[in-house]
């Protein structure tokens, strides 16, 4: 489902130095596999996810998603590939403030191959406990509720691959467990692979497959 070869990304520091953040020689994730990456803040794990999703352009290397080479595509085609195959749960939510909870999920679906399905969007929002908040705007929700909207939006397009960046970081322990359970259940139902990054040991203990990001990222050595 996901294969990485010689992936590299550097940034320019405020002092003008080139700082390598990601250097991954070879790494892969099988179809339907669920894996967690352990990494502390500042370790480059969010940059790694952004490279996998084509949100950031790599300096070098290849990212293959379900046979399509993300790193060889222009920006508009990367957007299309994300809409067709990926679900991304952002740590900072990235909700549209001028749209309701339901509209945020439906709008995300409109870019996918199946189109908008309001009934499916409602069902997912019910599953994350927001069935009574469909007409609310993000500013009217708690931080934890906004995170649950982000989870529903990422799962709505029946993605083949879900990338989750600290998806429970803004939730209390009970809601974190519920959200993680939902993410994993929907991925299993759809046969989707799941890659989750976190530094939370309670979250990591939910996975049988856990990998230290430092073990694959030579930039940290």
pLDDT over 90 (residue 209):
yes
Give the whole-angstrom CA distance, residue 187 versus residue 196. 12
Would you say 176 and 144 are in contact if contact means Cβ atoms under 8 Å apart? no
Domains of the chain: 29-58+72-212 (3.40.50.300)
> What values do phi and psi take at 131, rounded to 5?
-60, -25
Residue 11 has pLDDT above 90, yes or no: yes
pLDDT above 80 (res 150): yes
Structure tokens at 112: 């996918």
Six token digits for residue 169 = 């970081």
pTM for this prediction = 0.92
- Overall average pLDDT of the 8-34 stretch: 95
Task: Say how far apart CA 110 and CA 79 lie, in whole Å.
Answer: 13
- Whole-number mean pLDDT of the chain? 92
Structure-token pair, residue 154: 């990422």
In whole angstroms, how far apart are CA 185 and each of 107, 148, 155, 157? Answer: 23, 15, 11, 15
- Distance, in Å, from the CA atom of 41 to the CA atom of 102, rounded to the nearest integer, reads 32
Phi-psi region of 51 (alpha: psi -120 to 50; beta: other; left: phi over 0): alpha
Q: Name residue 68's beta-bridge partners.
A: 65
Res. 169: pLDDT tops 90: no
């Amino acid at each position: 489902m996901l294969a990485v070869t010689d992936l590299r990304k550097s940034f320019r520091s405020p002092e003008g130095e080139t700082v390598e953040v990601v250097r991954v020689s070879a790494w892969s994730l099988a179809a339907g596999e669920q894996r967690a990456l352990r990494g502390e803040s500042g370790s480059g794990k969010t940059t790694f996810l952004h490279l996998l999703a084509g949100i950031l352009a790599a300096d070098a290397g290849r990212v293959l998603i379900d046979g399509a080479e993300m790193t060889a595509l222009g920006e508009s085609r990367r957007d299309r590939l994300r809409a067709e195959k990926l679900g991304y749960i952002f740590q900072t939510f990235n909700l549209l403030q001028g749209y309701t909870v339901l509209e945020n999920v439906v709008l995300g679906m409109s870019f996918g191959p199946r189109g908008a399905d309001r009934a499916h969007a409602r069902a997912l929002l019910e599953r994350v406990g927001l069935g009574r908040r469909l007409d609310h705007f993000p500013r009217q929700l708690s931080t934890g509720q906004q995170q649950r909207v982000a989870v529903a939006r990422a799962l709505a397009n029946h993605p083949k691959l879900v990338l989750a960046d600290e998806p429970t970081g803004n939730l209390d322990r009970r809601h974190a467990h519920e959200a993680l359970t939902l993410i994993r259940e929907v991925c299993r139902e759809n046969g989707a692979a799941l890659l989750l990054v976190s530094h939370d040991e309670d979250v990591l203990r939910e996975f049988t497959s856990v990998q230290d990001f430092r073990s694959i990222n030579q930039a940290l050595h």
